[in-house]
């Protein structure tokens, strides 16, 4: 059973436009969420996180939105740059169980110049 | 200077062999993990160690045995390799095992079993 879903395997966006990557989860006990970015032949690197006590967290061009009632979060990248082209993983955890993060399958973002 | 390093990066071996993947972190973190990225690209946790003690042990065949000689190292030994073990294995570390915090990943070790 997939507790964390990223239903778009890929996304293409023009440089300078907004990229919106979506993530849905099924476990209502999840209370901490992270986004990771992965380039080919490298490990995932941390991008941004959000706790369930917030509905938005911003870091530069990256903003994560959390809708707890819909069990949905999204990552917005504005403006998108060619260097943002990578696979983006959403991860979720129930902090009562420590760092047992559950990852989604990832979305491949291509930012076209 | 790589924060989380794992070796080898590529490993091709025959079914039935025994192999190990090593992982070291120089971040001073207390907790280390092994994740497997399967054919559907899901990253699934296999094991987690905190200060050399096993704290997470997901449903993994007992052919997989983690070993943590000290808190900076977590090695993964796999016995009697099977075709389905082919995957990319990622080592990761975090500051502690509780509460929020990010994971720092190694570059991954691609295992191919023929």
pLDDT above 70 as % of chain A: 96
Whether the CB-CB separation of B44 and B60 falls below 8 Å is answered with: no
Instruction: State the smallest CA–CA distance between residue B44 and chain A in angstroms.
Output: 7
CA A63/CA B73 separation, integer angstroms: 34
User: Using CB atoms, which residue from B42, B55, B100 is nearest to A103?
Assistant: B42
Domains and CATH numbers, chain A: 4-112 (2.60.40.10)
User: Using CB atoms, which residue from B42, B105, B106 is nearest to A105?
Assistant: B42
CB-based contacts of B91, cutoff 8 Å, min separation 6:
B4, B6, B21, B23, B25, B32, B33, B34, B35, B74, B76, B105, B106, B109
DSSP state of A27: -
Say which range, A20-29, A103-112, B52-61, B75-84, has the weakest mean pLDDT: B52-61
SS3 B84: helix
What tokens does B73 get?
């190292």
* Domain of residue B53, residue span: 4-113
For residue B99, the model assigns a pLDDT of 53
- Report residue A11's pLDDT band, with 50, 70 and 90 as the boundaries: very high
Report the CATH number that the domain containing residue B79 is assigned in CATH.
Answer: 2.60.40.10
Residue B21 forms contact with A (CB below 8 Å): no
For residue B39, the model assigns a pLDDT of 77
Whether the CB-CB separation of A66 and A54 falls below 8 Å is answered with: yes
For residue A73, the model assigns a pLDDT of 97
**Cis peptide preceding A112, ω within 30 of 0:** no
Instruction: State the smallest CA–CA distance between residue B106 and chain A in angstroms.
Output: 5
pLDDT in tens, A57-95: 999 999 999 999 999 999 999 999 999 999 999 999 887
Domains identified in chain B, total number:
1
Whether the CB-CB separation of A5 and A102 falls below 8 Å is answered with: no
């Amino acid at each position: 059973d997939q507790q964390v879903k990223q239903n778009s395997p890929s996304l293409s966006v023009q440089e300078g436009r907004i990229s919106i990557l979506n993530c849905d989860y099924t476990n209502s006990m999840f209370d901490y969420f992270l986004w990771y970015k992965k380039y080919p032949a490298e490990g995932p690197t941390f991008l941004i996180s959000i706790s369930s006590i917030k509905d938005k967290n911003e870091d530069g061009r990256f903003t994560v939105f959390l809708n707890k009632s819909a069990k949905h979060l999204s990552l917005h990248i504005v403006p998108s740059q060619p260097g943002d082209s990578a696979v983006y993983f959403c991860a979720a955890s129930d902090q009562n169980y420590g760092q047992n993060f559950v990852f989604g399958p990832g979305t491949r973002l291509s930012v076209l110049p | 200077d790589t924060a989380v390093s794992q070796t080898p990066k590529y490993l091709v071996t025959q079914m039935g062999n025994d192999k190990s993947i090593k992982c070291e972190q120089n971040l001073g973190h207390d907790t280390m993990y092994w994740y497997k990225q399967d054919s559907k690209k899901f990253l699934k946790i296999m094991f987690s160690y905190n200060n050399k003690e096993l704290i997470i042990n997901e449903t993994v065949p007992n052919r997989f045995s983690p070993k943590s000689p000290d808190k900076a190292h977590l090695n993964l030994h796999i016995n009697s390799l099977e075709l389905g073990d082919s995957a990319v294995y990622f080592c990761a570390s975090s500051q502690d095992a509780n509460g929020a915090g990010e994971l720092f990943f190694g570059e991954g070790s691609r295992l191919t079993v023929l």
